[in-house]
Structure formats: C-alpha cells, structure tokens
Structure 1
C-alpha cells in the first residue's frame, strides 16, 4: 500500500494559514501594506473545527488549573498559527453564547449556541494527518458584538 503524499485537511489548514498571513501586517499604515484589502473588515482569523476518523470534533482545554486570569475552558474551535510539515500549532478559540456565557462542549452546550469566538494564547500541537475533515466557519464570529 502506498504512502499518502498529501492530506486534504493539511492542505486546507495550510491555505487558511496563507490567508491569515496575507492579512497580518507589521506596519498596517505602510506604503507596502494591503491598504485596499477587503479582508481587513473580517480580521485576521479563519475559525475552524477539525474532526477525527470517527466524526468527532477535536476538543482542547485552555487555562487548566486556572493559573492565568480567567476560567478554565474547552473548545472545538481553532485558529492556525503555524504549519510545519504535517504538524500544526493551533490556538484555541474560546466560545461564548449571546449572553456572554462560556460554552462547554464536553457537557451540555452545542455549536449552534455559539454567538462569539475570541482568540486566546493557549495552543495545541496537532498532526494534521490524523484528521479526516475540517469545517471552516465565518470569520465574523471573531469578537462579534451583535446580530447582523
């Protein structure tokens, strides 16, 4: 049996990384910046969920032990920070409902209750070849403040 040379999930995550990097700038007012970029209004994050071969979403935990300010949380939503080979560093996106309550995906809450996602400094390292599906979400979920 031949070894897979490419993974569709890996390709999707690499594409998301490229899209995000195209928006991030060191000097946003410089003459070489993307001043006319349409995506400026959408921010710099393409949120997504990834799924195992059993169709279950990857769940990760942030602020375990509450050593940093803020609550311990779990999430199924991520932002790609860096792709290196078949591995990736993903930052955890914390999910809130429209009443600003943190959602718990290991307990009772469902993804349909998500109103807002926020970036965090918590990361997870993943092997992209271990996932079978990726579900990209609307970038407008990041830091959302009201219904459209």
Structure 2
C-alpha cells in the first residue's frame, strides 16, 4: 500500500491506509541513509529530545550518504524551516531536508539543509517581500550544506514528498 493506493472492502469502497504515503517515503529514505551510514556517529545535535538538558554540542563529522527531499503542505505550498549558520549570510530559510529519525508512528526529526548555488553561495529562497518562497531562486539551487538546525514534524500533515538528490554532507547517523 502506498501513495494513491487503497484496499477495497466487500462493498467495493476504498479503505484508507493507516499510514500516509509521505510517512512511508520518509521512513524508506531513513532506511536507505542508515544502510549507507558508518558507525560511531553522533545524532542531530539540536534534536529537541536530546538529553540531558544542556547536552547540545558540536557534531563529529564522518561521511554518509544523504537523500535530500522537500515536503509539500496540504495546500500545495512548500514546507520551509529556518536555519542558522556560522557565516554572516542573510538567507536563513530552506525547503530542503534530511531525515534524522522517524518515531511515534509518523513523527520525524528533519535536519534543515542550506541551499547553495554553483558558486557555493547560500541561496536566499524568499521572494523580494520576504513573504513566500521564490521558485526562481529554487531553480538556482545545485548544492546543499548541512545546518545545525532541526525541526520535528508530523508527517501526516503533508501531502507530498519529492526526493531531490543523493549527496554526501559529512553527517553521521
């Protein structure tokens, strides 16, 4: 069972799947990333569930493969989150993510990825008014960098997931 598919009961009416397709796809992405991961890596260091309080520290870096993806809200708009960098970039919004964990059915911790262009410059995805995502700017994104920002989401709140690229971000699982 997956996206757009349902089972039928004896009266030929569809029965809704217990899990949404976005949840299934993000779980699959996590399994693919975990299969490529090396041991002795730290988790997402800004995870809200990290214990003890004050335990957020700089991550250690080793190579792993990452499947970059975007999510669409139920109204069709791109889901976005903010990130912070050590650079002095004015851009701080991204629609690109890496799954770090899936838990409690369909909740996930996503790492926000920094969108970059061919010149390795951060791409400001906001329109001139700073009120929406500029699709012209989305088209100029060709590279990604890991941020230290994470967001916890309910995957059932999205209607679509789009895989963008498989990249090496130097992040550990």
- Which TM-score tier does this pair reach, normalised by the shorter chain? 0.7 to 0.9
Cα deviation for residue 101 of structure 1 reads 2.1
Give the 4+ runs in structure 1 shifted more than 3 A: none
1:80-99 pair list within 5 angstroms: 80-84=99-103, 85-99=105-119
Match of 1:77 among 86, 96, 100: 96
Q: Computing the radius of gyration over CA atoms, which structure comes out larger, 1 or 2?
A: 2
Secondary structure at the aligned position of 1:11 is classed as helix
Match of 1:136 among 159, 163, 172: 163
Q: Name the structure, 1 or 2, with higher relative contact order (CA <8 Å, separation 6+).
A: 2
Match of 1:13 among 16, 26, 48: 26
Structure 2 portions without partners, runs of 5+: 1-14, 41-62, 128-133
RMSD, aligned α-carbons: 2.1
Deviations 1:86-136 (A, max 9, x none): 110000110111122211222255221012101122100110000000000
Q: Give the aligned length.
A: 123
8 Å CA contact retained: 2:27, 2:102? yes
8 Å CA contact retained: 1:57, 1:76? yes
Structure 1 portions without partners, runs of 5+: 28-41, 144-148
8 Å CA contact retained: 2:38, 2:64? no
Within 1, Cα distance between the matches of 2:147 and 2:27?
20
Cα deviation for residue 4 of structure 1 reads 5.0
**Which structure is higher in helix share?**
1
TM-score, scaled to structure 2: 0.64
